[in-house]
């Protein structure tokens, strides 16, 4: 039996209950905690949380505006503990994520199959304006950006214990990686197929860190109802 709910199509819970789920989700509570506080079954809560995360993912995919300004780029590795003898970009069994961060503004993340120059440069060219200033580490995958029109590309060489040279650093994107990894620790035993939803949720929370996420989400679902 469906009930009237302007935020959700074919809803089986009231608007008040849905707003309560959104409020607790915006406060970053777990599904178990939300179920306990709302008195809604855990499977139903999970169904709504997955639908919310799918909408967040959809919105991240349709954002078309190029990042312009001071852009930091970097890759990070998520997942199982490092295998002994396999370090850095050769770490086995991990999910590779590439990120671009516009200083003081927003971040964009994407799961990638490798860290080859063709892979990383395709994303940089697709997500940033050539008028931007690119900051990276010394990884060879970033070689040749100047040839694609990026006239300003500054690097720091972590292998030489260099982490900043004046305004040249990637501290912002590295800070985001720390935030994302600390947040995802609580999702122990996460199904790998769900990783991208949780990654994009981290991105969404970071990009809306100066906003009231509860109001942002409600506005999102007023504009277009959630589909279960």
Q: Using only C-alpha atoms, what is the Rg of the chain?
A: 20
- pLDDT for 168 equals 84
pLDDT at 161 over 90: no
The span from the CA of 62 to the CA of 33, in Å, is 32
Average pLDDT taken over every residue of the chain: 90
E strand or H helix at 8: strand 8-9
Query: DSSP labels for 134-175?
Result: EEEES-GGGTTGGGGT--EEEEE-GGGT---BTTB--HHHHH
Helix (H) or strand (E) holding 215, with range, is helix 213-223
Judge if pTM exceeds 0.85.
yes
Q: What is the pLDDT of residues 39-74, one digit of tens each?
A: 999 999 999 999 999 999 999 888 768 999 999 999
pLDDT band, very low/low/confident/very high, at 10 (cuts 50, 70, 90): confident
Spatial separation of the C-alpha atoms in residues 175 and 21, rounded to whole Å: 29
What residues contact 18, with CB distance under 8 A and at least 6 apart?
Answer: 5, 7, 8, 11, 48
| More confident call, 201 vs 158 | 201
Grouping H, G, I as helix, E, B as strand and the rest as coil, residue 122 is helix
Predicted pLDDT of residue 227:
87
- What does the longest C-alpha to C-alpha distance in the chain come to? 64
Select the more confidently predicted residue: 188 or 139: 139
**What pLDDT is stored for residue 186 in this prediction?**
85
Q: Do 29 and 36 meet the contact criterion of CB atoms below 8 Å apart?
A: no
In sequence order, what E strands does 80-225 have? 94-102, 107-112, 133-137, 152-156
Average pLDDT over residues 215-228: 94
**Higher-pLDDT residue of 94, 74:** 74
Name the residue among 28, 59, 76 with its Cα closest to residue 173. 76
């Amino acid at each position: 039996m469906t009930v009237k709910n302007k935020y959700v199509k074919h809803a089986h819970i009231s608007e008040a209950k849905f707003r309560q789920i959104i409020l607790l989700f915006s406060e970053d509570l777990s599904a178990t905690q939300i179920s306990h506080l709302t008195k809604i079954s855990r499977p139903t809560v999970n169904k709504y949380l997955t639908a919310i995360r799918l909408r967040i993912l959809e919105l991240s995919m349709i954002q078309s505006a190029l990042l312009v300004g001071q852009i930091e780029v970097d890759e990070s590795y998520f997942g199982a503990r490092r295998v002994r003898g396999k370090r850095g970009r050769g770490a086995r069994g991990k999910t590779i994520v590439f990120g671009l961060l516009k200083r003081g503004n927003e971040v964009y993340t994407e799961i990638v199959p490798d860290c080859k120059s063709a892979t990383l440069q395709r994303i940089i060219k697709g997500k940033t304006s050539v008028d931007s200033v690119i900051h990276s580490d010394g990884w060879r995958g970033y070689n040749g950006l100047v040839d694609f029109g990026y006239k300003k590309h500054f690097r720091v060489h972590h292998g030489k214990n260099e982490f900043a040279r004046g305004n040249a650093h990637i501290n912002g994107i590295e800070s985001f990686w720390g935030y994302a990894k600390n947040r995802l620790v609580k999702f122990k035993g996460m199904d790998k197929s769900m990783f991208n939803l949780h990654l994009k949720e981290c991105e969404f929370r970071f990009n809306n860190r100066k906003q009231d996420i509860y109001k942002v989400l409600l506005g999102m679902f007023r504009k277009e109802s959630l589909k279960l």
